[in-house]
């Protein structure tokens, strides 16, 4: 089933200057000249959103979220109008649409609204007249008619949602990297770009610190089975990374990538009385402050007391510590301490489901490198370890080598060079 429509999303670094906008226009025109219907979603020009936000923060300590949305949405309106003008300038008819005009209806949660519906009638009509549709990303409109925005990275979500609504074949996300890598190429020089990643793997990767795609956008794509291709705006030859459903015809590589996150901190509450309800008491207080806790360890009880450690994102550390110091006194804990000198390394792979022993190989590898594991958590397709921050690079490189991620995996029913397996 092919709809002949492709959705292409270009990020802020792809439309940061007039030359870059011209370059994007050329790529869009090329797709249209090849006979495709094209709907483009653009972010604000690089730096624009931050500039607007900075002005707002200078004018008020706590700017109204509704007004922030009106303010920030201007950035994408400007870039969409400019791209449409550039397309016209090249003889490629185009129409720019705002969030409201593309029918992107959201709830009322300003600055991080959720999409409720897409009424894409106007976009459909315009595509029928052989015009390119250029949509302002990141923005929608609530039932009251006020502008809302979808939060950071929201343009990716706009693009996937429009691709779903218009039944596109694929949603292409153009960015300043060639795709999804087996590890951060700045840390692991022989990191390899992946041709194919499953939705589930990408969800794990996005939540583990891979910045190439926002987790909400991947969730959306997974829910509606819309394949995403992440590829470079600047390198036309590279086919990028395709993110889609697991292909049952194809043997999965056991491990797809190694991720790391240095922005992790650990809080330890020592000498807590080992009584029912104490842990609930502690973690409820954090939940009420909307602080997400990642891993939790509770030691085996000794003499009626126990220690509880948990990790969280470092941005929440200060607030969490002030809560925990209060709670610590309340539950008569011996001490409350924080440690930001940690990082989380994670190994992700859909093939873990059918291959045992991956965790053991990870622990052996780290042991061989004399890296101590402080905490462990696992999912069906992921193993994460907390280690000391200084060992991050060493651990990532060792694991990347152990699982031979620099080598193309052997696959059964597809040639190894095929970047876009059938779905």
- Nearest to residue 99, comparing CAs of 53, 158, 12? 158
* Strands of the sheet with 147-149, listed across from one edge: 115-118, 104-106, 139-141, 147-149
Minimum CB–partner distance for residue 72 and a second copy (Å) = 9
Please report whether residue 303 would count as binding a second copy according to CB under 8 A.
no
User: Total binding residues for a second copy by CB under 8 A?
Assistant: 37
Rounded to whole angstroms, the Cα distance separating 172 from 229 reads: 5
Minimum CB–partner distance for residue 18 and a second copy (Å) = 6
Please report whether residue 53 would count as binding a second copy according to CB under 8 A.
no
* List 95, 168, 196, 375, residue binding a second copy (CB under 8 A): 95
387 Cα distance to chain centroid: 23
User: Residue 379: beta bridge partners?
Assistant: 382
Helix (H) or strand (E) holding 105: strand 104-106
Minimum CB–partner distance for residue 131 and a second copy (Å) = 11
Minimum CB–partner distance for residue 93 and a second copy (Å) = 9
Rounded to whole angstroms, the Cα distance separating 62 from 57 reads: 7
* List 3, 4, 18, 287, residue binding a second copy (CB under 8 A): 18
Minimum CB–partner distance for residue 77 and a second copy (Å) = 5
Minimum CB–partner distance for residue 94 and a second copy (Å) = 8
Binding segment (CB under 8 A) for a second copy, from list 95-103, 202-210, 274-282, 396-404? 95-103
Q: E-assigned strands of 274-350?
A: 293-298, 305-313, 335-348
Helix (H) or strand (E) holding 33: helix 18-33
* List 78, 296, 373, 376, residue binding a second copy (CB under 8 A): 78
Give the burial class of 144: count Cβ atoms within 10 A of its Cβ; 0-12 exposed, 13-18 middle, 19 or more buried: exposed
Please report whether residue 89 would count as binding a second copy according to CB under 8 A.
yes
Please report whether residue 360 would count as binding a second copy according to CB under 8 A.
no
Q: Which of residues 234-273 bind a second copy (CB under 8 A)?
A: none
Interaction pattern, residues 112-151, with a second copy; x per rule: CB under 8 A:
---------------------------------xxx----
Q: 71 vs 336, which CB is nearer to a second copy?
A: 71
Minimum CB–partner distance for residue 360 and a second copy (Å) = 56
Minimum CB–partner distance for residue 132 and a second copy (Å) = 12
* List 39, 86, 118, 395, residue binding a second copy (CB under 8 A): 86
Query: Could you please report the per-residue DSSP string of 168-234?
Result: -SEEEEEESSSS-BSS-TTT-TT--B-SEEEHHHHHHHHHTT--SS-HHHHHHHHHHT--EEEEESS
- The values of phi and psi at residue 339, to 5°, are -140, 115
Report the chain's terminal Cα–Cα distance, integer Å. Answer: 11
- Applying CB under 8 A, the residues found at the interface with a second copy are 18, 21-22, 52, 55-56, 58-61, 63-64, 66-68, 70-71, 73-74, 77-78, 80-82, 84-86, 88-89, 95-96, 98, 100-101, 145-147
């Amino acid at each position: 089933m092919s709809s002949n429509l492709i959705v292409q999303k270009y990020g802020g670094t792809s439309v940061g200057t007039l030359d870059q906008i011209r370059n994007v226009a050329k790529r869009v025109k090329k797709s249209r000249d090849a006979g495709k219907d094209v709907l483009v979603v653009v972010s604000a020009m690089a730096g624009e959103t931050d500039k607007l936000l900075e002005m707002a923060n200078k004018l008020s300590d706590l700017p109204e979220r509704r007004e922030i949305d009106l303010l920030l949405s201007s950035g994408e309106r400007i870039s969409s109008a400019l791209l449409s003008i550039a397309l016209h300038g090249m003889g490629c008819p185009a129409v720019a649409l705002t969030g409201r005009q593309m029918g992107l209806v959201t709830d009322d949660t300003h600055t991080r609204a959720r999409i409720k519906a897409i009424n894409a009638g106007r976009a459909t009509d315009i595509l029928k007249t052989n015009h390119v549709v250029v949509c302002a990303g990141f923005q929608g409109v609530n039932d009251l008619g006020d502008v809302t925005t979808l939060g950071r990275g929201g343009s990716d979500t706009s693009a996937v949602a429009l691709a779903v609504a218009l039944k596109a074949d694929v949603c292409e996300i153009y960015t300043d990297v060639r795709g999804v890598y087996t590890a951060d190429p700045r840390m692991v020089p022989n990191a390899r770009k992946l041709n194919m990643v499953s939705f589930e793997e990408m969800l794990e990767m996005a939540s583990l610190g891979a910045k190439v795609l926002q987790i909400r956008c991947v969730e959306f794509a997974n829910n509606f089975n819309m394949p995403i291709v992440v590829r470079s705006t600047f390198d036309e030859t590279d086919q990028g990374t395709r993110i889609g459903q697991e292909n049952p015809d194809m043997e999965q590589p056991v491990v797809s990538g190694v991720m790391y996150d240095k922005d992790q901190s650990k809080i330890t509450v020592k000498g807590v009385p080992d009584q029912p309800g104490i842990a609930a008491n502690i973690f409820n207080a954090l939940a009420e402050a909307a602080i997400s806790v990642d891993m939790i360890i509770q030691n085996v009880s000794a003499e009626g007391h126990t220690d509880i450690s948990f990790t969280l994102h470092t941005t929440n550390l200060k607030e969490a510590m002030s809560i925990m110091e209060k709670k610590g006194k309340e539950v008569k804990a011996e001490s409350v301490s924080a440690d930001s000198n940690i990082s989380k390394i994670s190994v992700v792979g859909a093939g873990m489901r059918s291959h045992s022993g991956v965790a053991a190989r990870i622990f052996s590898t780290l042991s061989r490198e004399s890296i101590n594991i402080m905490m462990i958590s696992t999912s069906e397709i992921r193993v994460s370890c907390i280690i000391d921050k200084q060992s991050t690079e060493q651990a990532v490189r060792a694991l990347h080598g152990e699982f031979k991620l620099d080598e193309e995996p052997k696959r059964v029913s597809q040639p190894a060079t095929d970047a876009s397996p059938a779905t």
